[in-house]
Structure formats: structure tokens, C-alpha cells
Amino acid sequence: MISRIIKPAVTRVITPTAKAMLRIGFTPNGVTVVGAIGVVASAFIFYPSGRLFLGSVIISFFALSDLFDGTMARISGQGSGKWGNFLDSTLDRITDSSVLIGLILLLNKNSDRLVPVVLLALMTGILVPYIRAKAESLGIECSGGLAERTERLMLALLAIALHGLHLPFALAIGMWILAILGAITVVQRIMIVRNATQE
């Protein structure tokens, strides 16, 4: 939802940088892998040690690779291809999960009662793209929903960063919203598939 609004504008801004990266030899798939490694490493280094704001800033930087690789593939005229699409989708699941797992490690160490809520957010974050992939394997279009990947990742990083700045209840509110929106999106996509199969 949000990504459909901001992505075109962001793409226009990063296009010159993407062209420069192609000229010096970077590839879309290479950028995807580097970005994923950066997100996972940052989540497991900074979050469990309690450096939440710094970790969120660095993760946000590496997460931009998701915009750069697509722009680079389009500019090069090669497209991302089947392997590129598969790699990008798989690494998205790994990076998204690592953000919440890194947070869970910190919360669990502190015996925080928010752990089950973050686990629910993690589960729905895995289910949302799985439902779409399974539906599309059956020939059913199943995109959309209240909270797609971009919205969920932005909300998670914002809540974690604000908690790192010692803003009261930011993490609890953010994680509850993330879990609820994720659950609603799962139900929405299930209903999309159900309606399509009933027709």
C-alpha cells in the first residue's frame, strides 16, 4: 500500500546511483546478497546487545538494496530473471525474520512479556508471503492486503528505533500493531484465495 505510493518517487531519486553502480561492475543479484548479509549481521549484532537505534539505522541502510537491485535490473534491460526473483524473495524472508529474531533475543534475555507478541508478528510475517506464493502456484493472484512487506518492515524498524531512543511504550505499541496488521493481512489473503476457488 505505502510502497505503491513512495516507491516510484524513491526509484527516480536512486536511479543515477544505480546507473553508477552498474558502470563500476555491481550486479543486481550481488547488491541483493550484500544487502541481505548486512541486514542479518546488523540484526544479530546490534539488537541482542541493546543498541536498537543504531541497529535500526544501519538495517534501514542495507534494506535499501531491495530498491537498488530492482532499479539496476530494469536499467540494464536484463530484468531480474527467474533466479533473481527467487533469490530476492528468499532473502526477503530471511532478512525480515532476522530483524524480529534479533529483537526476540534481547527481549528473551530480559524476560520481557512482549516476546509472544513479537513471535506472532514473526509468524504472520512468514505466512503473508507464503500464502501469496502458494496461491500463485495455483494460478490465483493474491497480492495486496492491509500490511504488505514494506509497511511491516517500516513499522518494525520505527518501533525498535524509537524504543532505542527510550520513548515509552513505542516498542509495545509497534509490535502489537505489527502482529494485528499481520494477522488481518493473513486472513485477507486467505479469503482472496477462498473466493477465487469458490468462483
Active-site hit among 69, 88, 92, 96: 92
Cα 175 to chain centroid, rounded: 15
For residues 83-113, one letter each, b for 16 or more C-beta atoms within 10 angstroms of the residue's C-beta and e for the rest, the string is: ebeebbeebbeebbbbbbbbbbebbeeeebe
CB-side exposure of 56: number of CA atoms within 13 Å? Answer: 20
Closest C-alpha among 37, 42, 34, 36 to residue 59: 42
Task: Check if 92 is active-site.
Answer: yes
List the alpha helices (DSSP H) in 47-114.
52-63, 65-76, 81-109
Q: Catalytic positions, please?
A: 92
